Every structure is written in C-alpha cells, then in structure tokens.
Amino acid sequence: MTSMVPFAKMNGLGNDIVVIDMRGRSDAVTAEAAVALAAGEATGFDQIMAVHDIDLDGVDYRIDILNRDGSHAQACGNGTRCVVQALASETGRRSFTFRTLAGILNAQEHEDGSISVDMGRPEFRWDLIPLAEEFHDTTRIELQIGPIDAPVLHSPSVMSMGNPHAVFWVKDDVRSHDLERFGPLLEHHPIFPERANISVARVLDDKTLDLRTWERGVGLTRACGSAACAAAVLAARTGRTGRTVTVNLPGGPLLIEWRQDDHVIMTGPAEWEFSGRVDPLTGAWERDGALA
C-alpha cells in the first residue's frame, strides 16, 4: 500500500478544510499527521475531513473528522460542504449520505453551486449535550465571565449539534468581546466534560444573527457551521428569531433553517484551493511534484 493518498485544500467561508481521500485503505489519518499539517503555512486547517469507504446500506462514505490538535470532532458542516463539492466534481453526483460520529448526514449540491447539509436534530437535554451537572432549563445556564456582580458575559444557552455548544447573547458588536482570551477558559470549563464550542451572538432582527466562535480543539475560526446551526436554533428556541435565519460569520453568511421536523439544514458555499498527495501517517505532503 502506497503511503501517499490524494488530498484537497479547501475552505468553507474561510473555515480551512483539508479533505483526504482514504477510500480503498484500512488505516486512518493519525493525530501526528494532523498536527504536522496544521503547522504548515499552506496546509494549516481548522478540520481534516478524511473520507473512508463504508459497508452500510444507504450510506455512501464515512467521514473521520480531526481538529488542528489531532482530536476528533463529531460534526463539521463547513467541512461536509467541501467534501460534497470534491465528490460532486469527481463523480458528477449531486447528493450524498455520510456517516460521522454525530450520526448520518445527508447533503446536496445545488445548481448554483451552494451546498445544503442536513445536520440532524439538535439535542437540549443536559446529560446528552453533555453537561457535568443537571440543568432543567438549558436555554440559560449558570456560567459567567468577569466579576460576580458585573459579569462581562453570562447565562449562555447550550445544546448539542453533534458536538457541544454554548452561545452567549450580547447586544453590542460581537467583535468587541475578547474570545481569544476567554474562549480557551470556557472551552475547558468543568461544566463541559467533553469541552465545548464557545460563541458570542448578536440578534440583528427576526431573520439575522452575527456570530463569532471559539471552536473546540481549533481556536478562533472564520466560520463554524455547527456553531451557526446552534446559534440559529437557540435563537429560535428562546424566541429571539424565527426558524430560518442568516448567520453572519467573519468569513461570510450561512443560511440556517430549523425545519418543523426538527432537522437543521445549513446552506452555504465551498471553495477549492489546491490539491496534492499526503502521507496519512506522518503528514508529509507534496504538490505539483515537489516535496513540501
């Protein structure tokens, strides 16, 4: 078995993605390879989407998702859109079904090039998000940053969109909050036994949100698809918006619909940057015949 496999460097609204083709192989992309690729100037990424064969009726492929630090993620909406674009370009197909740690995801490329991903159903129960202690009402939990009598941020809404999310609601510009400073603290807060994605959201109107996210295992990101889904769902759940909203991220907008059947549909673009071959064991890679 050759050590090198095809890969594509892509992005979804600036969310840097590396799609690695592991079809026909029984091994996996290692954490060491992920860390090595993340450190590269050309291959730095937010998530690796490793596409594997799968023997499961009704499912096309399995996607193994890795963060910059080599940890595994359950879901990545922006990365899934990149996988769809890559596979659609290769196969001519428009619709795909994937298995991830978050479950089964259906996705489709539209005529205009935009891609919709069915991210599944949200989970609000405290022990399934999960949280370390019981909260009957997860639309508002006891968690804050800053002095007890004058917190900078407090009372986030929490849920799982295949991975844990906490959304703090603010009335001022989301860029005015120092996510780079308090994001790591909240990601690793004891209330989140599996860590969490930490977001700051501002409702502009019934159909529009601004959002910034500190992504679990990644850090500040220009776009986090599952966080956009979580913010949209939680905004609707708390009566701040309707069930279809545009979520403005630093990298651009995503359209999120929380359908009446409880499924969350995320629609947005994907962009190809370059391709090459990579060793899934070490992360050594090459492009245009030159060793990187």
Q: Which domains does the chain have, with CATH numbers?
A: 5-120+270-291 (3.10.310.10), 126-262 (3.10.310.10)
Greatest alpha-carbon pair distance for the chain in Å reads 62
Band of the pLDDT at 150, cuts 50, 70, 90? Answer: confident
Q: Is the pLDDT of residue 1 over 80?
A: no
Query: What is the reported pLDDT for 36?
Result: 97
Does the predicted model carry a pTM greater than 0.85?
A: yes
Query: What is the reported pLDDT for 137?
Result: 97
Query: What is the reported pLDDT for 199?
Result: 98
So which residues are the catalytic ones? 76, 224
Span 65-76, average pLDDT: 92
Q: What is the overall mean pLDDT for the chain?
A: 95
Structure confidence by residue, pLDDT tens digits, 182-233: 999 999 999 999 999 999 999 999 999 999 999 998 899 999 999 999 999 9
Query: What is the reported pLDDT for 148?
Result: 84
Structure confidence by residue, pLDDT tens digits, 24-67: 999 999 999 999 999 999 999 999 999 999 989 999 999 999 99
Band of the pLDDT at 289, cuts 50, 70, 90? Answer: low
Structure confidence by residue, pLDDT tens digits, 111-147: 999 999 999 999 999 999 999 999 999 999 999 988 8
